[in-house]
Every structure is written in structure tokens, then in C-alpha cells.
Amino acid sequence: MTDKVCPTGQDVVAHILPIFALQYLVAVLVQFRNTAYLRIALLPIMPLIVLRAFLAIDLSCGLYERAQVNGIFITYFISVIAQVTIWSLAQQLYKRDNVRGAKSTSIPLALWNACDLLLNFRGIGWNWSQGVPIPESSVKTQSRVQFLLFAVPRAIFFALGFDAFTEAVRTFFAFEIAYLSIWLVYFALEWAYHSLAIICIVIFHQHPSQWPPLFDKPWLSTSLSEFWGRRWHQVLRYHFSLLGGIPLSYIFGRAGLVLGTFLLIGLFHDIKIRAVGRGSSSLVEVGFFVMNGVGILLERVWAKARDCRVHGAYGWIWTFSWLAIWGVPMYRICSLDLITESPMYILITSVEVLEYTEYETNILFDNCLLQLLE
């Protein structure tokens, strides 16, 4: 096996573009009848080309400080594999809300809707997303301008918050700071989500209704079921439950549904940490999520025994104490990965990589020119 290389434009075309092309093709096919066999035939190709790309290119370009980019790369494309798997095995046709009633999706409309489906992990505006909780937006506007006036300051706020929490963790690195790690993740995801919303609304002219809130005030959770089932982000809930929870539910019932879902979530995060190249403890990483599934089952046992669900002030203490007990060991392992990149640091290192690439390109051009003159 050859060493990984810092990707050039040619590498992107050879390794990354085929992944998006196949994802887009299946997103189009899932909207039409009589495509099931073709979708299933295409399914094995996706994990192979993702693995091929991951083994060939190094998005960090050998910079230790930017190794997290490789983690983001592999976890995003694992989610793409999950998407394509579900689309390939789907029995119902996917329909967006711009296709009325029993009307068939036209080819031009399917091509357009497939673009939305690529990034729409929660299925907003699609018929397959039933059961995925979507928080109600506090900004009830149909105007793109008004939405941007709301989203841009929030994106800046979350970027600064992420940067502040990152520096706090770097500075103190004490047991107490472990409790801040959940806020670091929260600000990071909100920053990324609002930035992506701004891009899609400005460039792709999407509607504000396609970008409801990502979180639903998770700090107000009074049970683990409420935290994980509604208030924390639900971006991959449908995928994890369908691919991890439902298969085990056939064997172990509801317990299999809950634990299978959290087991797959844990494996997903463990792969991300390992992709960074800094090592990981699967027992701790996966164990955090599995034990949260156990906590949810314990809440169910409590509700049956006491005829009263977990809630109120005691429920809040229980929820965040359980998260802290199992989260602190995971934080200690993942802390180096979490604190390496802040928004400001990403900007600085990205400029450095561009300058280095430009320097290398100039040297290569000069060498080629000398050879031609000789």
C-alpha cells in the first residue's frame, strides 16, 4: 500500500468525485419505481470507493495539528454510506413536499430534489422522515433576508463561543473543564450548521423552512430519553436506529432497539477518533454511548415500577450526572482531538497550507521551466 498523499485537484477528481456521483445517482433512483434492483446492485460499490479514498489521501497534508480533518472526512463519508444503504434498501419511493399527491416525480424535478437529499439527513420536507423530531424555530419568517440577518450573527457567536471553550480547555485541562466539553461540541456543531445554512440559502437559494434549529435547548433535559430523543441533535437518528437499532430489536425487543442504536453511534465516533491517528479506547468511546442506552432503559424500568417517568429537578440532576460519569473518561481520551481545532485556528492553518502549496507549486514550475530551457 502506498503512502497517503496531500490531495491535489486530480486526486479529488479520482477519489472524491466518484463518491458524490454515486450518492447523487442513488438519490435520484430512490425517487422512481422499478429501480430497487439497480440500487441494490450499486450498494457494494460505495464502501469500496470510500475506503479507496481514505487509504489514498491525507486531508491534513501531514500536519499533526490538522489531523482532525481526516476524522471529519471519514465520519462524513460513513454517514454517506449509511444514507446510500438506506436508499438502496428503501421499499417506499422518496417524495418531497414539492411533489403533490400521487403525481409521479419528473426527471428534472428528481434531479433537483436529489441535491436537497444529499445534505438533508433529517428528511425535512420528505415523506421518509416521519418520527424524526424537528425543533420549532423561534424565528418564524419566510424571508431569506430576515433569516440571514438572524443566522449570520448566530454563526459568528457560535464560532467565538467554540473558540473560547477551546481555549478554556487548553488552558485549564482540569477535571472541572470536562463538564465544558459538551458545550464545546454544542458550539462547534451550531457554528457548522449555521454556516452551512447561510451557504445553502445564499448560493443554492434554499428556503428558511429547510433549516430549522439543530438543537432544542438540551440544557433543559430532565431525562436521558428527552436529551437523546429530542433535545440533542437528531441528524443521524433515523440512520442509526434503522441500521443499528431495528435489526437488534427483532432479537431483543425494545432493549435491542435502544442498545443497538447507541452501539452504532459509539462505533461511529470511535472510528472518527481513530481516523485522526491519535489512538482511542473503544471500550471507553463506545461504552459512553452504550451506557447512555442503558440509562434510558433504566428510566423505562423506573417509569414502570413507580408509574411515573423521570422528570423535574431530580430528573435534571440524574441526566447530567449520568452524562458526566460516563463522559469524563471519554473526554480524557478524546480531549486532544477536541481541542486541536478552533474556527480561528482552522483559518490560520488553512492559509498556511495554501501558502505552502503555492510555494511548492512555484518550485515545481521553476524546475519544469529549467528542464525545458535545457
Within 10 angstroms of residue 317's Cβ, the number of other Cβ atoms is 11
pLDDT at 345: 46
Distances (CA, A) of 341 to 41, 54, 100, 320: 39, 21, 45, 26
Q: Which of 99-108, 231-240, 301-310 has the lowest mean pLDDT?
A: 99-108
Q: Which of 60-64, 207-211, 214-218, 366-370 has the lowest mean pLDDT?
A: 366-370
Q: Which among 46-55, 180-189, 365-374 has the top mean pLDDT?
A: 46-55
How much is the pTM? 0.83
pLDDT at 369: 38
| DSSP run (H or E) holding 344 | helix 343-373
Residue 238, pLDDT above cutoff 50: yes
Whether residue 271 has pLDDT greater than 50: yes
| Range 189-207 average pLDDT | 91
Question: Which residue is it, cell 433535559?
Answer: 221
- Compute the distance between CA of residue 8 and CA of residue 57 in angstroms, rounded to an integer: 9
| Spatial distance between the Cα atoms of 210 and 117, rounded to a whole number of angstroms | 11
| Cell, residue 359 | 510555494
- Of 62 and 32, which is predicted with more confidence? 32
Amino acid 366: pLDDT:
42
User: What mean pLDDT do residues 89-108 have?
Assistant: 80
What span, in angstroms and rounded, lies between the C-alpha atoms of 138 and 201? 18
Rounded to the nearest 10 degrees, the angle between the axes of helix 144-172 and helix 181-203 is 150
Give mean pLDDT, residues 88-110.
82
Angle between helices 107-119 and 17-29 (to 10 degrees): 120
